């Protein structure tokens, strides 16, 4: 199939594009190369894709560009592009989140409705739409109450996908990712920061008591969910979790076994950080045959190995 992957130079987008190429699909990748983190890291993410004859790249701002050339002949769109990050989404930065997460999504949906002939539009949503939920696990029918401006924009974009599906029949499916980790994880994300600190012999900064829990999802499982969404008939909204819910303290103990001694510095909880996440993935199992395969220990070891190489260290 002829696929469009937005945010292709990012963490999940680059892995997804590689997988699609492996499966024999053609991929047009789109990225705006924002300065949220170093461009050289994003260029590194594209290393394997650059030499693939079935891959092409366009540097485009989805919120301003003419999107018709991107959609011409495309059968599936994987909309991974977004301004990420809970903590930076407060204050004046919020305008960028509106631009990249809401306006860009609305324009892509409108162009797909008007000019496209899509079999499926797969949107990368987030567990952040649930907010600081008191009851876990989260079901797709659970109350959505974002706890950060970032979560507000992800929910708004997800609801736009649903609006275009219900009003115009655009075949959209939204995947609510739960804390994706693995090689190429963004440098602002917790595991990346923790591993980097441990490998450099620096203290690990933890906000709060460390008893907050996350449902960690390995990147290859998130990628497979996208492939399953493309290949199946399902539309709507689905949780994509990894089935590896642990506290940060337990994750740090595991990291100590894999990467070396962990020295923890405690800080105050940060605005927007939720206490617990856990996905109920029954709907995804039924509709997409989704089943996470990567255990946390094995996945975290793979990320440690990748970051060790990135830092030029030997183990």
In a domain, 283, yes or no: yes
In a domain, 47, yes or no: yes
pLDDT score for 314: 66
DSSP string covering 206-267: EES-S--EEEEEEHHHHHHHHHHHHHS---EEEEE--SEEEEHHHHHHHHHHHHS---EEEE
- Give the domain extent around 99: 2-178+217-243+277-293
Give the distance from CA 91 to its chain's centroid.
23
The CATH number that applies at residue 113 is 3.40.50.720
pLDDT score for 315: 58
pLDDT score for 159: 98
In a domain, 183, yes or no: no
Residues forming the active site:
150
Contacts 24+ apart (CB under 8 A), 253-256: 254/296, 254/297, 254/300, 255/194, 255/195, 255/198, 255/300, 255/304, 256/198
| Tally of CB atoms within 10 A around 68 | 11
pLDDT score for 313: 78
In a domain, 192, yes or no: no
pLDDT score for 272: 85
| Tally of CB atoms within 10 A around 34 | 18
Taking the chain (315 residues) in consecutive chunks of 10 residues, what is each chunk's mean pLDDT? 97 98 98 94 96 96 96 97 93 95 98 93 98 93 96 98 98 98 97 97 94 97 98 97 94 96 91 93 98 97 97 76
In a domain, 109, yes or no: yes
| Alpha-carbon dihedral sign for residues 95, 96, 101, 107 | positive
pTM of the model: 0.97
H/E stretch holding 45 reads helix 39-45
In a domain, 50, yes or no: yes
Closest by CA position to 182, among listed 153, 218, 214: 218
| Token couple for 118 | 């899509």
In a domain, 196, yes or no: no
Total domains in the fold of the chain: 1
Query: Does the bond joining 137 to the residue before it have cis omega, within 30 degrees of 0?
Result: yes
252, 206 Cβ separation under 8 angstroms: yes
| Alpha-carbon dihedral sign for residues 32, 227, 246, 272 | positive
Closest by CA position to 125, among listed 170, 77, 159: 159
Tell me whether residue 273 is exposed, middle or buried, using C-beta atoms within 10 angstroms of its C-beta: 0 to 12, 13 to 18, 19 or more. Answer: middle
d(CA 73, CA 71) in angstroms, rounded, equals: 6
229, 288 Cβ separation under 8 angstroms: yes
pLDDT score for 147: 95
pLDDT score for 212: 94
In a domain, 197, yes or no: no
């Amino acid at each position: 199939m002829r696929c469009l992957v937005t945010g292709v130079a990012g963490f999940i987008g680059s892995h997804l594009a590689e997988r699609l190429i492996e499966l024999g699909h053609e991929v047009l990748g789109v990225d705006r190369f924002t300065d949220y983190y170093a461009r050289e890291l994003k260029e590194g993410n594209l290393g394997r894709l650059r030499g693939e004859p079935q891959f092409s790249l366009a540097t485009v701002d989805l919120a301003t560009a003419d999107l018709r050339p991107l959609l011409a002949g495309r059968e599936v769109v994987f909309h991974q592009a977004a301004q990420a990050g809970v903590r930076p989404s407060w204050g004046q930065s919020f305008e960028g989140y509106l631009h990249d997460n809401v306006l860009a999504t609305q324009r892509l949906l409108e162009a797909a409705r008007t000019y496209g002939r899509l079999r499926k539009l797969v949107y990368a949503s987030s567990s952040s739409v649930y907010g600081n939920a008191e009851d876990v696990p989260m079901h797709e029918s659970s109350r959505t109450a974002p706890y950060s401006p970032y979560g507000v924009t992800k929910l708004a974009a997800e609801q736009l996908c649903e609006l275009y599906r219900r009003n115009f029949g655009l075949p959209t499916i939204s995947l609510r990712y739960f804390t994706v980790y693995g090689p190429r994880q963004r440098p602002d994300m917790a595991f990346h920061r923790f591993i980097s600190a441990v490998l450099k012999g620096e203290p690990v900064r933890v906000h709060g008591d460390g008893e907050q829990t996350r449902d960690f999802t390995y990147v290859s499982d998130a990628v497979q969910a996208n492939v399953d969404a493309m290949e199946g008939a399902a539309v709507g909204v689905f949780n994509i979790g990894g089935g590896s819910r642990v506290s940060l303290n337990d994750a740090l103990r595991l990291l100590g076994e894999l990467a070396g001694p962990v020295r923890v510095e405690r800080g105050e909880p940060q605005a927007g950080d939720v206490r617990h996440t856990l996905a109920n993935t029954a709907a995804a199992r039924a509709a997409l045959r989704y089943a996470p395969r990567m255990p946390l220990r094995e996945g975290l070891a793979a990320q440690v190995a990748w970051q060790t190489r990135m830092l030029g260290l030997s183990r």
